[in-house]
Every structure is written in structure tokens, then in C-alpha cells.
Amino acid sequence: MINSENALLRGTVLFNVRGRDMGSVVNEAKERVAAHFPRLPQGYYIEWSGQYENQVSAQKRLQLIIPGVLLVICFILYFTFKAMREVLIILSGIPWL
């Protein structure tokens, strides 16, 4: 589909993802596009949006929030048990650390 946005013509390619995660599909599509079109003509660019754009935005936000939350949890545990050893024992039980 070709339409205009910000006084520029825009071509849109839509596709659905089934059975795989959005990130790996878009990364594979980026590799294939880069292999077929190593250099785009002047004035052309590729922009990945939709669910993928939302996923990237959420991932960046979580990368900022999660360390802060873990730090707050460590402080709460330390003030509860008054010993760093107990805090480390509790944190070692978290499977993704």
C-alpha cells in the first residue's frame, strides 16, 4: 500500500507472525532486507514499526526499571534482616539472576 505521511510517500508492508516471537522475525527480516538492499537510494529509508516498535520501547523501559526495583528490594531485605548474608541467600534463590 502506498500513501503519504509528513509530505512523503510511504510504502507499507504488512505481515503476521505465527509460531515465533516478533523480535526474532523482525531481526531475520532486517538481515534479509540488508542482504538484498545493501544501500538504499537517496531519500529512501526503512522503518520497522507496529508491535515490534512497542516491544522495543517496552524492553528499553524495563531495562531502566528492573535494576532500580531490584535495588529497592535489596534495601528492604537488608533493613528487614539487618545482615547482607541473608539478603544474598534470598537473592540467590531467584532463578534469573
- The single-letter DSSP state of residue 41 is P
> Is the residue at 10 inside a domain?
yes
CA 13, 15, 47: angle at the middle one, nearest 5? 45
* Residue-level pLDDT at 60: 95
> Is the residue at 35 inside a domain?
yes
> Is the residue at 83 inside a domain?
no
Alpha-carbon dihedral 26, 32, 34, 38, rounded to 10 degrees:
-160
- Structural domain total, the chain: 1
> Is the residue at 92 inside a domain?
no
> Is the residue at 23 inside a domain?
yes
CB 22 within 8 A of CB 52: yes
Q: Which domain holds residue 26?
A: 1-48
> Is the residue at 26 inside a domain?
yes
* Residue-level pLDDT at 89: 92
Model confidence pTM above 0.75: no
What averages of pLDDT result for each successive group of 10 residues across the chain (97 residues)? 79 87 91 92 88 92 94 94 92 79
